[in-house]
Every structure is written in structure tokens, then in C-alpha cells.
């Protein structure tokens, strides 16, 4: 029987509406279109189940093979640029939706706005899994060539950090710079963050960056209290240090080009370097842009929900076809259907097999989960492990108590100086990561969110350990040596 391979874990499932639109991305050949021309590629075996995302082994091999071929043809960089352009289109559409008032609008107008949102959401994720599959070979190919040219291990690490840095600042970095500027202004003027001057600066900040508090259809945008809490943790000394670090990061593209010139990289290798940079940027920009789209369309979704007696989570536990039918009929959903939506919100799975999509919840989900549990291999007898190995994503060394983050609900546990241990980080983790001394993840490569955000925040990070959340206990003292890609459990 063909095996499922867990490729990403977030600890909690996305809303049904998001997953339903993602399935339309898959079945509508949006992935295939990213390769150009009339190319067709529709994944045949994929699922989101038990808080994780899975492909079959055969599907992964096929996907990676397609991307290797695209890389050999020099197409990957332009695919990454196309993804960025798609994000820009989504943002333009989002701004137009935000200008539209849906209060008291007819069902037809609500449906029109909803379809605009859905169509852009479907198009948005055609490139979504490219970076996970590219992580399996492209950074390694670049690293292998650099190792050949640079014998010293310390210089290898330094050069690769520069070569894998993004060419453009992420929104996370720009939001961080804005936050530091507010803190610096208030601290130098001796003003409180809650003063009228402080509140005005925060309002301006939120107008630009509130959406970064979201993670797709879940979580909430940043609020005044969120920003107040983050600024209140900063001293003038920290502001000066962090600002200098951001200024140093801004020089990374210049440093990268000097290294490319020094090592005399050929055109093929340069293209691979810039492809890695572009996908590192675009993967994060896509998350940021989708959350921006949701933020702009949230008044419409709230209007639909309130009009038909639903909560946000109940509405987002519906499929696109169900919301469309509700608006066309202009009828309140039955009590039985609302109960279905609540069960889906509690837990669900979406399975794509041979072109057919199944949405499971309730008893059907329990049966499916029991079948998958029966296929598990018992690894409880494995010997204790004191040291884990992963990929050094951001340099440095730090020690602290481990905080295990299995879902966004755990983020409030993080205190200053903790080591965050997670399957993977997402944009909603950022305020918690600002307090951490280091990051360790199960998943990921040089293109993942944790790798990017750790470099933005200048904290050590080791990704791709595979088992950190399973082997490290809550509160255990750990040492993260991100120069060597090692995580040591000290007690």
C-alpha cells in the first residue's frame, strides 16, 4: 500500500473554506499552469489531516522530478517571480474589495464579492508547494558548489547565509522596522506608548501591518494592545541594537553580489542562487498577501455570516458551493446544517485521491483516523536521544528552557529567553518569537518561514530536525548551536 508522507504540520487544521479552495487550486491545474504553456499537473494523492499536510511518496517523487526539470531549463526563477506577481494582483483585488461597502447589500452583490475573493484565493496557491519540494534539492545543490569553492567551514556558513538571504525585505522586516521607529521616537521623547502621540503612531502602523497578525482565515489582525505589548518590552538599548541589525540586513544583497563575483559563479549557478532567494521571499510574501486578502474581505465575510445567523468559524467551515447556494436561495441554513459546520470546525480532514475530493468530519472522520492509526509503526522503544541534528538556518548559539508549540494556542506560553520548539512557524508566531532566544523546528529547509524570520529577528535557528517536538520535553534546558545545526538536550 502506498505510503502517505507528512510534509508539513501546523498542529491545527485550516478552515474548511480555505481547504476547499485549495482543492480547486489542485484540480483546476493551477500548479500545472505555473510551469508555463499548456503543461498539466494535477496531484492525485494529497490530504490535510490531523493538523498536518501529506502527499503520497509517488506524488512527491513526481513533483520533485518536475521541479528538477524546470530548474535544469532555468525556469524556476521566473516561476518564483510569477508567484510574487500573482500576490501583487491579489493585493490589488483585495484593496478594491475593501473599498466596497457590503452593509445591507443584496445577496447577489454579496455573492459577486465572495466569488472575487474565492477566484483570487484559488489562483493564489498554484505555486504554494513548490518551495517545500524545491527545499529537497535546490539549496543543497547551491551549497555543494559553494563547499567545493570554499574549504573553510566558517566561511562556507557565512557565504551561504548571504547567498540565501532574500533580495527584498519581507513585510515582517518592514513591520519590525516600523515598530522600532515608534519605540525609538517615544523613548527619546519620554512619551508613553499609551499617550495620544503613541496611539496615533500605532494607528498608522496598524493601517499598514495589522493583517500580519492573521494566519489565513484563523487568528485576528494585530490590535492596539498587541502593538503596545511589543513596544513596551523594548529598551532604547535594544532598539538601537535591533535597528543596526536591520540596517546590516539591508546590505545583504550587496554582500551576496560581491560573493558571487569573488567565487566567479557561472550563469547556471547564479540562476539557482537567485531562484532560492526569490522563493524564500515569495513563500513568505504569499502568506502575508493571503492574510492581507482575508483582512480586506473580512467585512464581506462578516456581513454574510451575520446575515445568515452564523459565526465566523461556522461560515468558514462551509464549502464554497454551500455558501454560494445559501446566497442564491437567500435562506438561513437549517439547525442540522449549522451543527454540521460546528462539527467540521471541531475537526475535519480533506482527502484528494484520483481526482476525487472527500471532506470528512464526525463519525466518518473517526473511522478514517482509526484506519490510519492501525497503519502506524510503534517507535516507543527507541533509545533516548540527547542531541538532534538539523539545518543551520540562522547562525548563533543560545541556551534556554524549551517551550513546545504545537498550535497557535500555545503561543502565550513563550517568555523572554525561551527556546521555541515547533513543527514549523507561521506569521502569527512573530510576536512570540520576538521574545525567544532561539528557534528549533521539526520541518523545513532554507526556504521555510522559520529560516526567514529567524534571520529577520537575528536569533539562532535550526530547522528540519524531524523529531524535536517529540523528543524535547516542555521546560527542558536545551542548547541551540545554529552554527553547526545541533540541538543538545541539557537535562
d(CA 230, CA 435) in angstroms, rounded, equals 9
Is the domain of 125 the same as that of 23? yes
Residue 425 domain boundaries: 387-489
Number of domains present in the structure of the chain = 2
Is the domain of 367 the same as that of 470? no
Residue 377 confidence (pLDDT): 55
Residue 381 confidence (pLDDT): 46
Per-residue pLDDT band at 102 (split at 50, 70, 90):
very high
Across 2-16, 232-246, 253-267, 437-451, least confident range: 2-16
Are the CB atoms for 34 and 127 separated by under 8 Å? Answer: yes
- Asked if the structure places residue 323 within a domain, the reply is yes
- Asked if the structure places residue 12 within a domain, the reply is yes
- Among the candidates 333, 348, 374, a domain finishes at 374
pLDDT at 94 over 80: yes
- Among the candidates 341, 374, 407, a domain finishes at 374
Q: What CATH code is carried by the domain that includes residue 452?
A: 3.50.30.10
Residue 379 confidence (pLDDT): 45
- Asked if the structure places residue 464 within a domain, the reply is yes
- Asked if the structure places residue 294 within a domain, the reply is yes
Across 225-239, 241-255, 370-384, least confident range: 370-384
How many C-beta atoms lie closer than 10 Å to residue 289's C-beta?
Answer: 24
Percentage of the chain with pLDDT > 90? 83
Each residue's pLDDT tens digit, 460-471:
999 999 899 999
Q: Calculate ∠ Cα 272-275-279, nearest 5°.
A: 145
pLDDT at 190 over 80: yes
| Mean of pLDDT values over 351-375 | 92
Each residue's pLDDT tens digit, 25-63:
999 999 999 999 899 999 999 999 998 999 999 999 999
Each residue's pLDDT tens digit, 381-434:
455 678 999 988 888 999 999 999 988 889 999 999 999 999 999 888 999 999
Is the domain of 116 the same as that of 19? yes
Per-residue pLDDT band at 219 (split at 50, 70, 90):
confident
Residues in a beta bridge with 435? none
Residues in a beta bridge with 9? 52
d(CA 453, CA 303) in angstroms, rounded, equals 34
Is the domain of 361 the same as that of 465? no
Is the domain of 456 the same as that of 347? no
Is the domain of 348 the same as that of 438? no
Residue 130 confidence (pLDDT): 96
- Among the candidates 310, 345, 374, a domain finishes at 374
Is the domain of 115 the same as that of 26? yes
Percentage of the chain with pLDDT > 70? 98
What SS3 string covers the chain? CCCEEEEEECCCCCCHHHHHHHHHHHHCCHHHHCCCCCCCCCCCEEEEECCEEEEEHHHHHHHHHHHHHHHHCCCHHHHHHHHHHHHHHHHHHHHHHHHCCCCCCCHHHHHHHHHHHHHHHHHHCCCCCHHHHHCCCHHHHHHHHHHHHCCCHHHHHHHHHHHCCCCCCCHHHHHHHHHHHHHHHHHHHCCCCCCHHHHHHHHHHHHHHHHHHCECCECCCCCHHHHHHHHHCCCHHHHHHHHHHHHHHHCHHHHHHHHHHHHCCCHHHHHHHHHHHHHHHHHHHHHHHHHHHHHHHHHHHHHHHHHCCCCHHHHCCCCHHHHHHHHHHCCCCCHHHHHHHHHHHHCCEEEEECCEEEEECHHHHHHHHHHHHHCCCCCCCCCCCCEEECEEEECCEEEEEEEEECCHHHHHHCCCCCEEEECCCCHHHHHHHCCCCEEEECCCCCCCHHHHHHHHHCCCEEECCCCHHHHCCCCCEEEEECCCCEEEECC
Each residue's pLDDT tens digit, 139-159:
999 999 999 999 988 898 889
Is the domain of 424 the same as that of 360? no
- Asked if the structure places residue 100 within a domain, the reply is yes
- Asked if the structure places residue 229 within a domain, the reply is no
Is the domain of 344 the same as that of 402? no
Is the domain of 357 the same as that of 401? no
Residue 445 confidence (pLDDT): 84
Is the domain of 30 the same as that of 104? yes
- Asked if the structure places residue 97 within a domain, the reply is yes
Residue 2 confidence (pLDDT): 65
- Asked if the structure places residue 70 within a domain, the reply is yes
Is the domain of 357 the same as that of 411? no
Each residue's pLDDT tens digit, 76-92:
999 999 999 999 999 99
Amino acid at each position: 500500500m502506498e505510503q502517505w508522507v507528512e510534509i508539513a504540520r501546523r498542529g491545527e487544521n485550516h478552515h474548511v473554506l480555505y481547504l476547499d479552495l485549495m482543492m480547486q487550486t489542485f484540480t483546476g491545474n493551477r500548479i500545472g499552469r505555473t510551469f508555463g504553456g499548456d503543461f498539466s499537473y494535477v496531484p492525485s494523492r494529497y490530504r490535510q489531516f490531523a493538523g498536518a499536510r501529506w502527499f503520497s511518496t509517488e506524488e512527491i517523487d513526481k513533483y520533485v522530478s518536475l521541479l528538477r526539470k524546470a530548474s535544469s531549463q532555468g525556469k524556476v526563477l521566473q516561476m518564483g517571480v510569477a508567484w510574487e506577481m500573482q500576490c501583487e494582483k491579489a493585493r490589488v483585488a483585495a484593496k478594491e474589495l475593501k473599498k466596497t461597502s457590503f452593509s445591507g447589500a443584496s445577496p447577489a452583490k454579496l455573492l459577486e464579492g465572495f466569488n472575487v475573493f474565492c477566484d483570487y484565493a484559488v489562483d493564489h496557491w498554484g505555486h504554494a508547494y513548490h518551495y517545500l519540494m524545491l527545499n529537497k534539492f535546490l539549496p543543497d545543490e547551491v551549497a555543494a558548489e559553494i563547499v567545493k569553492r570554499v574549504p573553510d567551514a566558517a566561511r562556507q556558513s557565512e557565504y551561504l547565509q548571504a547567498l540565501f538571504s532574500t533580495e527584498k525585505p519581507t513585510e515582517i522586516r518592514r513591520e519590525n522596522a516600523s515598530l522600532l521607529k515608534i519605540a525609538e521616537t517615544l523613548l527619546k521623547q519620554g512619551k508613553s506608548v499609551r499617550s495620544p502621540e503613541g496611539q496615533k503612531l500605532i494607528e498608522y502602523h496598524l493601517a499598514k501591518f495589522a493583517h500580519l497578525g492573521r494566519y489565513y482565515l484563523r487568528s485576528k489582525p494585530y490590535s492596539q494592545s498587541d502593538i503596545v505589548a511589543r513596544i513596551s518590552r523594548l529598551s532604547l538599548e535594544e532598539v538601537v541594537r535591533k535597528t543596526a541589525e536591520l540596517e546590516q540586513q539591508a546590505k545583504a544583497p550587496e554582500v551576496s553580489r560581491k560573493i558571487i563575483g569573488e567565487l566567479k559563479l557561472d550563469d547556471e549557478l547564479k540562476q539557482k542562487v537567485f531562484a532560492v532567494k526569490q522563493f524564500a521571499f515569495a513563500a513568505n510574501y504569499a502568506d502575508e498577501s493571503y492574510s492581507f486578502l482575508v483582512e480586506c474581505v473580512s467585512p464581506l465575510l462578516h456581513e454574510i455570516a451575520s446575515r445568515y445567523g452564523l459565526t465566523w468559524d461556522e461560515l468558514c467551515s462551509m464549502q464554497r458551493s454551500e455558501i454560494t447556494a445559501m446566497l442564491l436561495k437567500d435562506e438561513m441554513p437549517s439547525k442540522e446544517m449549522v451543527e454540521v459546520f460546528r462539527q467540521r470546525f471541531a475537526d475535519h480532514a480533506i482527502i484528494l485521491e484520483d481526482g476525487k475530493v472527500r471532506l470528512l468530519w464526525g463519525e466518518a472522520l473517526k473511522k478514517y483516523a482509526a484506519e490510519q492509526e492501525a497503519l502506524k509503526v510503534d517507535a516507543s522503544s527507541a533509545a533516548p536521544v540527547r542531541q538532534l541534528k538539523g539545518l543551520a538556518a540562522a547562525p548563533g548559539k543560545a541556551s534556554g528552557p524549551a517551550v513546545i508549540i504545537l498550535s497557535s494556542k500555545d503561543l502565550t506560553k513563550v517568555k523572554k529567553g525561551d527556546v521555541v520548539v515547533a513543527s514549523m512557524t507561521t506569521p502569527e508566531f512573530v510576536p512570540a518569537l520576538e521574545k525567544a532566544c532561539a528557534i528549533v523546528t521539526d520541518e523545513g529547509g532554507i526556504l521555510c518561514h522559520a529560516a526567514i524570520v529567524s534571520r529577520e529577528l537575528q536569533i539562532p535557528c535550526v530547522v528540519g530536525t524531524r523529531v524535536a517536538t517529540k523528543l524535547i520535553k516542555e521546560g527542558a534546558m536545551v542548547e541551540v548551536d545554529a552554527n553547526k545545526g545541533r540541538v543538545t538536550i541539557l537535562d
